[in-house]
Structure formats: structure tokens, C-alpha cells
Amino acid sequence: MMGGNYGQNPQLLPTSKTGKTKVKEKYTRVPNGAEGHYAQWVEASIAGLGNMEVSSPFEVACPLTESLLMANLAIRGFDIREPRADGKGFNYPGRYKKLLWDDSQMRITNFDAVNQFVKREYRQGWNLGV
């Protein structure tokens, strides 16, 4: 099975089975697909936290996003290399390491080299002003 963004246009593989198979829709779709999803997010943001029901609540979306970003940190950390002491080749200290996340400090606690991908230092004159 495959589908587009936000589950639009689901298809069975081989695609010849798509027209032959009818499955009852289990979840209500956001009208207008991706555009409707973005509009719903804006409306919920304007309404304020907890004041509007949405199809993807922040209580679910935030931890899900954080876990996906952790996967990205693991991928980036896998390729961090350090020269070997004998000068022949490299060691890869992030390979096969379980990363431990401290959400209150917004950092990995057991492999500091990967924290360079969590936050960045902006060039002079290009900071966010916070």
C-alpha cells in the first residue's frame, strides 16, 4: 500500500487492485488535504492551546516529532568520525550508541558531539534576538 501526503490518494500494489478493493474510511479526513491541514493548524494556533479540536493534537504531534528528530540525531551521529591515535584511519564513536535525551536541557547527555545538530550558533548579525 502507498499513499500521498496526509494519506491522500491511497493505492494498493499492484495498482490494479486499487479499483477492485473498497475499504470503509476509519478516520475523518481534514477537508482540502494538506491545505486544510495547514489551515486547521493556523486556526488552532490563533484559538490558543486547548481551545480548538484538531485532527493532529499538539499533545500527540510534539512527542512524535521529537522522536523523529532523535532518529535524525542518531543518523547524523553515526557518521561522526575522529582520527585514530596512530594516524591511520578514523574511529566512529557514535556508531551503535544508544543516545540519551534530556528534554529539559534539550541535549544528548552521553555523546556530546551530536549536540552540534540540536542547536546552532548564528553568525554575527544573524541571531534570532532571543
Residues constituting the chain = 130
Mean pLDDT of 96-102: 94
| Phi, psi of 40, rounded to the nearest 5 degrees | -65, -40
Reference 73, options 28, 26, 110, 122; nearest CA is: 110
> Would you list the domain boundaries of the chain?
57-117
CA angle 61, 62, 63 (to 5 degrees): 100
Report the C-alpha gap between 18 and 61 in whole angstroms: 30
Report the C-alpha gap between 128 and 50 in whole angstroms: 28
| Residues above pLDDT 70, as percent of the chain | 98
Report the C-alpha gap between 55 and 9 in whole angstroms: 18
- The model's pLDDT over 40-90, given as tens digits with 9 standing for 90+, comes to 989 999 999 889 988 888 888 888 998 899 999 999 999 999 999 999 999
Q: What is the pLDDT of residue 100?
A: 95
Does this model's pTM top 0.75? My answer is no
